[in-house]
Chain A
Amino acid sequence: MAFVKRKAMEPAPADVPKQERSCAELTACLEDSDPQTRRQAAREMLHFPDVSGALVSRLRREQDAAVREVILTTLVRLADPSAAAGMAECLRSEDAALRNEVIEAIGLLSGDVSATLRTLLADSDPDVRIFAVNILDSRRQPDVESWLIEVIEKDVHLNVCATAVDLLCEVGTEAALEPLLRLKVRFVSEVFIQFAANRAIKRIRGV
């Protein structure tokens, strides 16, 4: 009974801020075997500069979803170029859950991430380019349509274009009509691209 009372009155040990811990101490705590210690360290690292690298390094290996969530929250709040680039690199992970968490996190980054997106859209791996389009979907920035049009005009990979067309179905305007028609010609024998482009064209024309 006393234990229950203590729990009700005091915050959980992991939620108690560890005062005045150095950046080096917190970085070391990221490798602790206790997930709560890692989570707390990731949260406190927000107050130090140049910690994105250490956080990303841990993120790539972290198996605990709750710790990953805190690391990503800290990286989003840090929002420095190193955080954006580090998260983008996680898109190459074999872990599908991590990839999807990173896509959502990059979508939340404040400021201009055009350079990161431009790099991702030029990646040699079509899967990374698909994730870049997913990030465009997640961010919904004002110029998203022009990015998508560029993808369907230039990308050689069918699935990258198909992902962009799916988003154009939602955000496309008349500016996308001609590029969609050209895409149909470029992939004339691909049933799915014909279906997807027709769907987008009909939606834009209000048919």
Chain B
Amino acid sequence: MKRILLVDDAATVRMYHRDILECAGYAVEEAWNGIEALEKALQSPFDLFLVDVNMPKLDGYGFLRELRRLEIPQMPAIIVSTEAEADDQLQAYRSGANGYLVKPVSPSQLLTHVRLMLGEHSQ
């Protein structure tokens, strides 16, 4: 079972994404900021990260930069943000994101992107 780490300080967003992903057969873990996410990423590998931008302690871009700097497997990461400007997306990709979704994300949109990142798009 593929493992996904949800990183978001909003509990409602984490629960919403968790419901969608677990119903689709993924194992989901949660972190409420970038620091907690880094700790979890170092403890055990994940197949995908879904990452908010604005979080206390360590924001999503900072988390991705640290993640890419560390010598751990380079798993894909999708930024999931309320910010829809092109500059925001550019900043995300420069920080190491592989995809970008603007909130709120519909269930089908989320699953399409997750499957694409995990190489399951043809299934």
Contact = CB atoms under 8 A, between A and B. Distances in A.
Contact of A196 (B16, B62, B106, B107): B16
B16 A192 contact: yes
Interface of B: 10-13, 15-16, 19, 53-62, 82-83, 87, 91, 103-107
Given A162-B104, A166-B10, A192-B104, A96 B82 contact: no
B16 A195 contact: yes
A153 B108 CA distance: 28
Contact of B59 (A100, A126, A130, A192): A100
Nearest to A196: B12
Interface of A: 94, 96-97, 99-100, 103-104, 126-127, 130-131, 134, 158-159, 162-163, 165-166, 169, 190-193, 195-196, 199-200
Contacts, number: 66
Kindly list the 5 A-B residue pairs having the minimum CB-CB distance in the complex, ordered from nearest: A192-B104, A96-B59, A159-B82, A166-B12, A166-B10
Given A96-B59, A96-B61, A131 B54 contact: yes
28 contacts: A94-B91, A96-B59, A97-B61, A97-B62, A99-B54, A100-B54, A100-B57, A100-B59, A103-B56, A127-B82, A130-B54, A130-B82, A131-B54, A134-B54, A159-B82, A162-B10, A166-B11, A166-B12, A169-B11, A191-B104, A191-B106, A192-B104, A195-B12, A195-B15, A195-B16, A195-B19, A196-B12, A199-B15
A178 B121 CA distance: 42
B12 A162 contact: yes
Given A166-B11, A196-B16, A97 B107 contact: no
Q: Which of B54, B60, B62 has the most CB of A within 10 A?
A: B54
Given A99-B54, A196-B16, A163 B106 contact: no
Most buried by B among A131, A190, A196: A196
A195 B16 CA distance: 7
Binding site of A, secondary structure by majority: helix, strand, loop or mixed? helix
Given A169-B11, A169-B12, A100 B82 contact: no
Nearest to B88: A94
Contacts of A158: 104
Contact of A159 (B59, B60, B104): B104
A120 to B, nearest CB: 14
A182 B28 CA distance: 32
A186 to B, nearest CB: 14
Given A96-B61, A158-B104, 17 more contacts: A96-B54, A96-B59, A96-B60, A96-B91, A97-B59, A97-B61, A100-B54, A130-B82, A159-B82, A162-B104, A166-B12, A169-B11, A190-B104, A191-B104, A192-B104, A195-B16, A199-B12
Contacts of A97: 58-59, 61-62
